[in-house]
Structures are given as structure tokens and as C-alpha cells.
Amino acid sequence: MPPPAKPQRKWMIMAVIGVAQLMVVLDNTIVNIALPSAQADLGFGNDNRQWIITAYALAFGGLLLLGGKLSDLLGRRRTLLIGLLGFAAASAVGGAATGFVMLVAARALQGVFAAVLAPAALSTLNITFTGPKERGKAFGIFSAVASSGAVVGLLLGGVLTEWLSWRWCLYVNLLFAVPAAAGVLAFVAAKETVERRSRLDWPGVITVSGGLFCLVYGLSNAETHGWGAPLTVAMFIASTVLLVSFVVLESKVKAPLLPLRILMDRNRAGSYIAIAFAFCGMFSAFLFLTYYVQQNLGYSPVRTGFAFLPFAAGIALSAGTANTRLVPRFGPRPLIPVGMLVAAGGMFWLSQLTVDTTYLGGVIGPLFILGLGVGMTFAPAIATATTGVNPDDAGVASAMVNTSQQIGGAIGTAALSTIFASAVTRYATSHDQPGSELQATAAVHGYTVAFAVSCGLFLVGAVLTASLLRSGRLQSGPDPSASAPPPNSEVSATTDRMDRVGAARRAPHGPRAAELLGRGINEDGVRLILDLEYRNARLRAENRYLNENLYLRSANGHATSPRPSQPRHAPGSGTNR
């Protein structure tokens, strides 16, 4: 692992990672604004339009875990450079596209390099900032960028499309990627050695990439062709088979692509669930509120981007406060569920929209509340998901954060779009109104139903995370006091302690292990502490025993054959005191 970075260098690394993350996140929405202009320019039909979005999502979501593993094997610096420069090249190709196929291929390449870049960016942040204060601040900034990047994409996409050309929605990535790559070369330390002994888990790569590809494709197909379409069902079945096979394989291979211990930690599992639910619910706000603001309020694309700024402001306020002040004091358990409840309140407020609602009267308030809730959820969840991870696993643990975002967003978009369409159809068939009036009222009814379902998703997420997350503060490493040597005492007292620690070592869920877990230390850290305590107690007992032998030999004045330097109650010997 590279040596710790100096304070000024750390914040330069933070700036580089922030730019890289912003570029990846805003690309989810910036192209949405440019899509109508690109369609008119390149001449492709409505049935093909979705592939401009789906190609990016398929490549990104399907290859994230592979990208995370490459970060662990090749080093963060190499993978950051590969991701940034590859993303820039793919964006240049897309901006210069002369036809539909060229544009789709470029978007798929963007997804490939985004899958390499995103986990490397987060894992670099994870191993650079280790102190509680600086870590809280860094992850607060990162979470604000990751959550509000979609708003920046809407705003930037509107400005570029309206004032320049849709092609600049792709070319603009070069202005992010090239300076960020220069920053990586200047500030991110290279890994001293490339991991050569660990082979890439190709069966794991194939099964998980195929499983995630089928899942994302199935969700995209469900959005356009319905949940009962044969292709949708086939994709979901294939995804289930491949992902179950992946879990079975990972439990047996020596060097797994995703060590299952990463998912077994309750705090980490709860964080991944929180991120998935937050993005699942949040995407409905972007999708349906964009339509509402443009079609019902008559806003232009640029004005629509500005309309979402209260959401970004709420995220910036709560994410920074949560990670710098609240998480170090209370831990993640009270914050993440409360954040999801606040977000649910914002969604409930949005579900009260009507055809006559104004922006100031019914949109700006719930958007800000939603931003507060998402920031309070997302920032602690990212920090918790990456805390206490072995540096060699930092890439795949970070990739799981990005995978949770992608899968949560894809499920939210597909499921809520279906719910919206069904609600509109039911309303239109059950109400007798003039054509144009019925169309507008039915659309608003569909939006409010989708917002109400999103409110329910946040409530379910709050219950799940409150059940999974452990109480107590987060600790990035072992507590020094936990492994303090026992006080100077008789041999029997030392060996008694050794027996207790040995028992805890053999049974990680004993009282000592429970005490350490309660302090927020993950299971890997607990095992390490128990092992060190065991070894320390054993050495002290043996040292005491030898000292007593030497004293007796000296006092008796004759040589005695020293007994084996084994404590009287060695752990695991089966001797009862």
C-alpha cells in the first residue's frame, strides 16, 4: 500500500476524485436532455432512442465488479488513468458520431470505462483519508457530488444543447477527464508492486457480469415492452441463475472476485441496501418531476436544470453535516434511517401535486426536503460501506457501492415507469373529461402515484436499515485499548485471561467479540484484534512462567530441567480450570 499522502496532497486528490465522479454521474442525465436534438440530427426512430441510455447502463452496471477488482490488482493510479482517458476517447467518438450505431457504440464504451473509473475513484478516496475528521469531510464532499451530479447534468445538458449543440454534451467530458488525468499523474501515488500472484476469477467475472447485464437489460426491456414480455422474463431468469451461480462460485474459489465477507458485515450490507433504495426512489423525482416542470409549468431545458438546484442545496447541507459532525458522534444507525424518513416526507409532499400547483407553492419545498433526506442517507452510507475494508478489497467494496446505485436506479426507473403508465391508463379510462384536459390531469395523477410509491420505498428502506445497521460509532481500525496487555499479575490470572481470549478467538461471536462489534469494528477487524490479544496473552504467560522457573533454579542452587514453556491452561487444550 502506498505511504500516507501529505495533507495538501490529500485534498488535491479529493479534487481530482470529485471531478472524475462528477463526470461519471452527470453522464447519466446530461444525454437525456440532448436526446431529442440528437435524434433529429441523426435520424433514428423512437423505438431505438432508448439504446442511447441503455447501452451506457448495460456496460456500466455489468462490469462494475470487474472494474473494482482491476483497481485492487493493478493499482488505483493505473485504473484511474485508464478510466479517465478511455472515457474521454469514447466521449470524443460519441460527439463526432455520424449515425445511430456509432453513437450507441460510443455510449457503450463510455460505460465500460466508467465501470473501471468509478470504483477506482471511491477506493482511492477510501485509502487516502483514514482519520475520522478528514474522512468525514472527504466523504461528505464525495457524497454531495455523487448525489447532486445528476442535477448538474440536467443543468449543463440544457445549457449546452440550447446554446451550442447536443454534441457538446459528449465533448464536454474531455474538459473534465484530461485535467483529472493530469491530476492523477501529479498527486496519486503509484502502487509499488502489481499483484501477480492473484489470478483474476474469470468464472466469477463471467457469471456476475452476465447476471448484471441480464438484470439491467430485463429492466430496460420491461420499461418499454412490459414485465410479462417473453424477453423480459427470459432475462430475469437468466440473471437469477447467473447471480446464484456467482455466489456459489465465490464461496469456493481461493481468490474470489467479490469476497463474500464484504457482504457479511451488517453495517456494509445495510449501507448497500440504503444506497440502492435511495437511488431507486430518487430517480423517480428526476424522471417525473422533469416532465412535470417542462410540460405542466412550461419550463425550458435550462430553466428545468435550475429548478432542481434546491435538491442539490439540500444534499450539500445534509451530507456535509452528517459526515463531519453526526456520524463521528452517533454512528450510521440513527442517521441513515432518519434520512430515509425525511426523504419519504419530501416524496409524500410531491405526491400532493395537482395540475394547478406552482413551482414555489408545491415543488421547491419538497425538493429541498428530499435533498436533505438523500444527503443524510447517502453520505453516511458510502462512508460506512467503505469503512474497515482491507486495502486489497477496497476496489470491489467500492464497486458494490456503484453497483447498488446502478441497480437501484435501473429498478426504480423501470418499475416506476410501469406504475406511472398503469396509473395514467386507469385514470384516463375512468374519467370523462375533454381530451387535452384529461391528458394533463391523467399525467399528473401518474406522477403523484409514482411519488407515493417512492415514499413507500424510502419507508421500507428505513425499516431495513434500522434493523441491519449496528449501533455505535464507526471505527476505521482497531481500537488500541482493545489489545492493551493485561495488568501485571500472577501467572494464573494471565492464563485465565488467555483462556478467555482463546475462547473468543475460537468463537468470534462470544462476549469479547460482541463488545468489539458494538464499538463499530467490522468482523475482520474483530478477528484480527482477538488474534493479537490471544498471541499477546500467550507470550506474557510464557514469559512469566519462564521467569518463575529461572527464579526457582537460582534459589535452589541446582539445575533443573526446564519444563516445556507451555502455559498451564493452553487455549484449545480442553483442560478445565
In a domain, 373, yes or no: yes
Q: What is the pLDDT of residue 86?
A: 92
First to last CA, the chain: 44
Q: Which three cell numbers stand for residue 531?
A: 488474534
305 and 219 housed in the same domain: no
Which DSSP string do the residues of 197-266 spell out, in sequence order? SSPP-HHHHHHHHHHHHHHHHHHHHHHHH-TTSHHHHHHHHHHHHHHHHHHHHHTT-SS-SS-THHHHSH
Q: Which residue has the cell 490529500?
A: 10
225 and 287 housed in the same domain: no
In a domain, 481, yes or no: no
In a domain, 474, yes or no: no
SS3 assignment, position 97: coil
278 and 367 housed in the same domain: yes
Q: What is the pTM of this model?
A: 0.67
CA distance 14 to 128: 9
226 and 281 housed in the same domain: no
Which DSSP string do the residues of 38-96 spell out, in sequence order? HHHHHT--HHHHHHHHHHHHHHHHHHHHHHHHHHHHH-HHHHHHHHHHHHHHHHHHHHT
Q: Which domain holds residue 245?
A: 201-256
Q: What is the pLDDT of residue 565?
A: 45
544 and 408 housed in the same domain: no
Q: What is the pLDDT of residue 344?
A: 93
Give the total number of structural domains in the chain. Answer: 3
146 and 252 housed in the same domain: no
**Consecutive 10-residue runs of the chain (577 residues): their mean pLDDT?**
58 85 80 76 72 77 77 79 91 89 89 86 76 72 74 79 84 89 82 53 81 79 78 90 87 76 80 86 76 82 81 82 72 85 92 88 90 86 76 70 78 78 83 72 88 91 88 53 37 43 44 60 71 74 68 56 46 42
Q: Distance of alpha carbon 173 from its chain centroid, rounded?
A: 22
33 and 95 housed in the same domain: yes
66 and 167 housed in the same domain: yes
405 and 536 housed in the same domain: no
What CATH number does residue 104 fall under? 1.20.1250.20
CA distance 10 to 13: 5
Q: What is the pLDDT of residue 393?
A: 67
421 and 515 housed in the same domain: no
62 and 140 housed in the same domain: yes
Which DSSP string do the residues of 268-309 spell out, in sequence order? HHHHHHHHHHHHHHHHHHHHHHHHIIIIIS---HHHHHHHTH
Residues 243-262 pLDDT 10s = 899 888 878 877 777 777 77
307 and 192 housed in the same domain: yes
Please classify residue 329 by burial: count the beta carbons closer than 10 Å to its beta carbon, then call 0-12 exposed, 13-18 middle and 19+ buried: exposed
